[in-house]
Structure 1
């Protein structure tokens, strides 16, 4: 072997070694960034309340819910009374971005269907106090809203439903586990868990190990005993509707599944309005009457 060839091989091996080290350092660095910044990659709160129910001609009351013991503050929310005092009440929990104003259309639709609604912003969202949100904090906020509904508004838990959209559905599942006395749970466009969602975007990283913001709704399904309605649009490009099918399959309590043909992540209620309305009204009426037959699957 000539001296020139040996030198060339040495340089080639050195370059490969350097590239390998840089690749490892980059991978570790990216993994560290994902772990450190995970909350900023999951939550996208907005402080700007651009619309209120008044913009849609609806009567409402601004409410404030106390939350927190170590660092007490207030949650901001809306109370929309139904014209029919005998109808059920819904605690509405929104997803990871914007605030209750970004969910106004769905809130208004539910109110027009005849429900009284309590919709609140988590800490860090809208006019609510507090800093940047977290999973544990969101669970605490939902619990505070439930207590306000039952204790301050004196709503009978037998007529109080919990409704969660997207990430709010995972929050709603946790709340229903804490309060099995609720009349029922509605989960719309919700994922199985954050790590499972992350695998589609960050498939090259060990997300199961890195993420401590988990919102693992799937793992909680076997423990859930309250009547539950799962709603999902088949054209949802953010959360695949197959995740609702997984949640439905894993749930062991009374359960219903409604798939909205052509419905996206945000617009299933309008795209499939007739099917959506029928599913919500049938579910709440059946649950209120104590009908807990499960396995009903509605697709159209």
Structure 2
């Protein structure tokens, strides 16, 4: 083999090695940093419930795990009491962007429907402490919010309604699996699994099935739900297609309900739904009221 041919082979091998290293680096980066493609927290509190004339109390909730220096971490939230005699309570779990301040309009609608509301930010969001979130940590945060309502607020679990929007829907479903005694579950504009949300055009060369650890596999979990269910989705949602709520609904046991809001996108379902949306929430609350209730603790 002449010298030119030998150099050509070396160049080809070098190029192949560079491609392998680059591919391996891309896989490693996605494996280690995939939660940064999922969560988009904001620290800015743009508004408070008082801006919507809602009464509220600022609350801090401890989480079981501690920070890197061993200091206990706390979640920040808002408790919005119901008008009149308190009945059902919504645990509001927001999506992957913004924070509780970007979800006040939803809290207002629950308040108008007669619910008390606890809004809470996951670690890394708003004023909550802690590191950048992961699937495991947001599940733990939701559990801490549940424990706060049951143990500190002394609210009967049968009066608790879990609500999750988008990614929050997957978190609410996971919490509902651990607490089948909850009064009900409302999942709005959510997805079947994180794998189903991956854009194949963006990651077509990567083995996503192997690399994805933040799975949020709601479709598998909903088959085990044991409470009244309400799925809500806008038919014009370009981020999460409404067919995903239809699939979750189909896989879920009774009692269940699906509200598809014509023309609504990912974040304006309540606005498009209007009176029908609000009436559906009220009817869902009444359905919970008709369930056999355990005596309220003193």
For residues 81 and 45 of structure 1, what CA distance do their matches in structure 2 show?
26
Deviation at 1:199, TM superposition (A): 4.1
Distance apart, 1:278 and its partner CA: 2.4
CA distance in 2 between partners of 1:14 and 1:240 (Å): 49
What are the within-5 Å matches in structure 2 for residues 1-300 of structure 1? Answer: 19-71=15-67, 72-200=72-200, 201-290=202-291
In the TM superposition, residue 267 of structure 1 has moved relative to its aligned partner by 0.7
Aligned mates of 1:59, 1:86 — CA distance in 2: 14
Using the alignment, how far apart are the partners of 2:194 and 2:65 within structure 1?
28
* Partner Cα separation in structure 2 for residue 140 and residue 102 of structure 1: 22
Task: State the TM-score, normalized to the length of structure 1.
Answer: 0.88
* Farther off after superposition, 68-77 or 167-176: 68-77
Distance 1:18 1:157, change over 3 A: same
**Counterpart Cα distance in 2 of 1:10 and 1:110:** 73
Structure 2 residues without counterparts, runs of 5 or longer: 293-298
- CA 289–16 in structure 1, closer or farther in 2 if over 3 Å, else same: same
Provide the rounded CA distance (Å) in 2 between the counterparts of 1:144 and 1:245.
30
Q: Aligned residue pairs: how many?
A: 287
Aligned CA RMSD, in angstroms, stands at: 2.2
Q: Using the alignment, how far apart are the partners of 2:260 and 2:290 within structure 1?
A: 24
Q: Distance in 2 between matches of 1:198 and 1:264?
A: 19
Q: 1:209 Cα deviation (Å)?
A: 1.0
Deviations 1:109-161 (A, max 9, x none): 21122210001011111111111111111111111111111111121222110
**Residues 158 and 288, structure 1, Cα contact 8 Å, conserved in 2:** no
Asked if 2 retains the 8 angstrom alpha-carbon contact of 1:233 and 1:268, the reply is: yes
CA contact 2:49–2:56 (8 Å) conserved in 1: yes
SS of the counterpart of 2:250? helix
SS at match of 1:161: strand
2:66 and 2:86 mapped to 1: Cα distance? 38
Q: Distance in 2 between matches of 1:88 and 1:234?
A: 29
